[in-house]
Chain A
Amino acid sequence: MITVKDLNKYFGDLHVLKNIHMDVARGEVVVVIGPSGSGKTTLLRTLNILETPEEGEITIGKQSMDFSKPLKKKQIVEFRKQTGMVFQNHNLFPHFTALENVMEGPVTVQKISKAKARERAKDILTKVGLGEKLDAYPHQLSGGQQQRVGIARALATGVEVILFDEPTSALDPELVGDVLDVMKELAEEGMTMVVVTHEMSFAEEVADRVIFMDQGKVVEEGTPEQIFQQTKEPRTQQFLNRIRK
């Protein structure tokens, strides 16, 4: 589903992603862990081309992006339509209700009729447990509810891949569970997911594969068991010790 080859990304002199290789199969859930500043967010953002890497190639579905060549805007827009993104601080549209947030992609991007889009948005919001909050504006929702609207918005255009950037790290602890439950359900339904998170229990339970990043490199990858219980990399061990404290 996703193939990343030789990906390099610089911010000025800062080499943020160093020769990243990554494969994600259809329906696979990949959790990316690593210390702060290791490039996890940047990697996720390049998959959605919110950041443009300087070198490398990303293939998602049938579309390929070769970053050594100049890219056309239209090509980027088409490429992005395959993935949904859930942001750390949700980035919901504050001037739209929950329902309108979820309808926006289908109506504006896919040109689906409002009536149809409304029905579908209702279904999705009900599925993430917000059937009662359709007409609430984002500021009227709790952090956990906002994040679930964010997930619903990302799902609404029928994408095959969803990218999550620390979806629960800005939430009060008691709200984390609801969001993780929604993500688990998606995983069980076969959604392809790349998740940056510090929720190790989620990773152990849901991930098919865990990738450990440090200083812009993929240091180690494997099943949750291989990474969490049998890691051979001192850096991974160090990071896990710090997280578990």
Chain B
Amino acid sequence: MKMYLSNIFTDPEMEKYIDIIVSSFLPLVKGAFYYTIPLTLITFAIGLVLAVITALMRLSNMKVLQWIARVYVSIIRGTPLLVQLFIIFFGLPSVGVTINPLYSAIIGFSLNMGAYNSEIIRAAILSIPKGQWEASHSIGMTNLQALRRVVLPQATRVSIPPLSNSFIGLIKDTSLASTITYTEMFRKAQEIAATNYHFLLVYTEAAVIYWIICIGLSFVQDRVENRLDQYVAK
């Protein structure tokens, strides 16, 4: 370790490391842009739809719907994501259901986002004062109209910070797709490191790229929040 660190600062060695960083940079960024980010966006979008449906089922008056939603959320939250991915990709083929790595990852991550985010959305909907529903009803709206026009838009603002958190979690969790042979950024990093044996350098580089993506996302989050804040008293 000591040797390694002191070597970094001697010239010919330095050049070699820079070479490794530079040559692995493009494949890693490609991995991020072609696979990690699209996978994140797709699963977040599907997950969000699932989450809204699940939240509404939990809040509905129908016991059956409430229970289906409860059981779904309980199972997903109560079992490790890695195990869920393994069941979908390695387990299901033994009952004749074979799903390719990409679709397995989409299914696994979407189900996960749907469960976690449904709790966020449910809490956001419940945080909107009862008076907003009553005012909507008093001008003749149905429940659905009140939800769509009055409650959900306000709940959206409330749920952006926690949803951003879960989005950032998802970006990082997509690295788990590498274990079911889906070649996103981290699996690219594993492949590169396996050929040049510079595990520290290549994995650190991957970590930095994840970090940069997350910083970018926080920036987007701030802008969205500011836009939606125009109607909130400061």
Contacts and interface: CB of A to CB of B under 8 A. Distances in A.
A95 B137 contact: no
Nearest to A89: B131
Contacts, number: 70
Interface in B93-140: 129, 131-132, 134-135, 137-140
A83 B137 CA distance: 11
B145 A109 contact: yes
Contacts of A85: 134-135, 138
B151 to A, nearest CB: 10
Nearest to A77: B142
B138 A48 contact: yes
Contacts of B135: 85, 87, 91-93, 153
A138 to B, nearest CB: 8
A48 B134 CA distance: 10
A88 to B, nearest CB: 9
Contacts of B45: none
Given A85-B134, A87-B135, A105-B139, 9 more contacts: A81-B140, A85-B138, A93-B132, A95-B154, A95-B157, A108-B141, A109-B145, A153-B139, A157-B139
Interface stretch (B34-42, B46-54, B174-182, B225-233): B225-233
Main secondary structure of the interface of B (DSSP, over half): helix
Interface of A: 48, 50, 73, 77, 80-81, 83-85, 87, 89, 91-96, 104-105, 108-110, 137-139, 153-154, 156-157
B16 interface: no
11 contacts: A50-B134, A73-B143, A77-B137, A77-B140, A93-B135, A93-B150, A94-B232, A95-B154, A105-B139, A109-B145, A137-B231
Interface string B197-234: 00000000000000000000000000000000011110
B139 A87 contact: no
B228 to A, nearest CB: 8
B30 interface: no
Interface of B: 129, 131-132, 134-135, 137-143, 145, 149-150, 153-154, 157, 230-233
B131 A94 contact: no
Nearest to B153: A95
Contacts of B150: 93, 95
A80 B134 contact: no
Contact of A109 (B131, B140, B157): B140
A137 B230 CA distance: 9
Contacts of A93: 132, 135, 150
Contact of A95 (B131, B139, B231): B231
A150 to B, nearest CB: 8
B137 A50 contact: yes
Contacts of A83: 138
Contacts of B140: 77, 80-81, 105, 109-110, 157
Nearest to B150: A93
Contacts of A154: 138-139
Looking at A48, A73, A104, the one whose CB has the most chain B CB atoms below 10 A away is: A104
A91 B131 CA distance: 6
A112 B222 CA distance: 36
B145 A108 contact: yes
Nearest to A51: B134
A110 B231 CA distance: 25
A156 B134 CA distance: 16
A156 B138 CA distance: 12
B138 A50 contact: yes
B134 A91 contact: yes
Contacts of B145: 108-109
